[in-house]
Amino acid sequence: MKLAIPIINEKVSEHFGKSEYFMIYEINENNEVVNSKKLENVPCGDGSHSGHGSTVQSLMVENPDAILFINMGQRSLTALDGKTSLYRANDLDVENSLKEFLNGNLQKIQ
């Protein structure tokens, strides 16, 4: 499974479209992270942090099975509908949010 988390200033981004990059985690059948990589959010690469709709296109190149986020605009929610599972994070700390996901403590919203 691949999990994507939008990141800004080394924390879970409070708005999906304004993330600087995504951490992509590969998770095995034992719910262990076996690999991770950083994927730049191309629309935000100029430092403006105003990705809007193309953030979804940038991320879907990786074909994530799930996205863990705090807030996401309706256009992005609509664009991702049926393409991946969405989970809302409760914490800005990336490691804490990842642990919550791996432990099954986050509710799937879509």
Task: Tell me the whole-structure pTM to 2 decimals.
Answer: 0.88
Considering the four listed CATH numbers 3.30.420.130, 3.30.1540.10, 3.30.2130.30, 1.20.140.10, the one that applies to the domain covering 2-102 is: 3.30.420.130
Note the helical H segments in 2-110. Answer: 54-60, 74-80, 94-102
> With bands split at pLDDT 50, 70 and 90, how would you rate the model's confidence at 107?
confident
Summarised one tens digit per residue, pLDDT across range 9-18 is: 999 999 998 8
Tell me the pLDDT tens digit for each residue of 73-97.
Answer: 898 999 999 999 999 999 999 999 9
Spell out the alpha helix ranges (H) of 1-110: 54-60, 74-80, 94-102
Domain positions in the chain: 2-102
Q: Are 28 and 10 in contact (CB under 8 A)?
A: no
Phi-psi region of 73 (alpha: psi -120 to 50; beta: other; left: phi over 0): beta
